[in-house]
Amino acid sequence: MAEEHDGRGVEHDSDGTPHATRGEVEKIVENIKDGNAVWANPAADACFDRGITLSKPDFTVTEAVLESCWGPWDDEENSANNGNRGGFKICWGTKSAGFGEMCMVINHEGKLECDHETMGPEFVKEVLAKLVDNAQMRQR
C-alpha cells in the first residue's frame, strides 16, 4: 500500500518501491492489448501458449530457466536494498497457473535468502528440481 510521495509526486511503499500512476497503468494495458509488450521472463511465452487459468490452476512447474547470476554488491544510499554477497534469479512457468521469478541471495550475514513471490518452500523446491532436471550434467 502506498505510504509516501517522493519530490516528484510518485507514490512509494515504505521500502521505497515506486507505484505507477493510473495513466501509466492505462498506457501499459493499452500496449499489452495492442501486442506491444515483450515479456522479460523467458518462461512467459510457453505459459501464454498453454493458457493461464484462474479456475483450478495447475501449479506443476514446466519451465525453470537460470536467468542471471551476480556477485557481491552494496547500495549504501538505499537502506531498504543494501546489497548482498551474490545470488541468482530463476524464471519459472507452470502448466496453467502462470509464470514468475525467484531470486536467491547470500545476505551480508552469510545466510541464504529466497524471494519466492509468496509461492512457498515446496514450490521453490519444485522449481529448483526442474532447473536441475534441465541442466546438462558433466563429469569432471
- pLDDT tens digits, 20-79: 677 877 887 787 778 777 666 767 777 767 777 767 888 999 999 999 888 887 766 655
- DSSP-derived letter for residue 11 is E
Note the pLDDT of residue 30: 83
Which H/E stretch holds residue 121?
A: helix 121-134
Alpha carbon 1 to chain centroid, angstroms = 19
- pLDDT tens digits, 97-119: 888 899 999 888 889 999 888 88
Contacts (Cβ under 8 Å, ≥6 apart) of 52: 96, 97, 98
User: At 115, phi and psi to the nearest 5?
Assistant: -95, 105
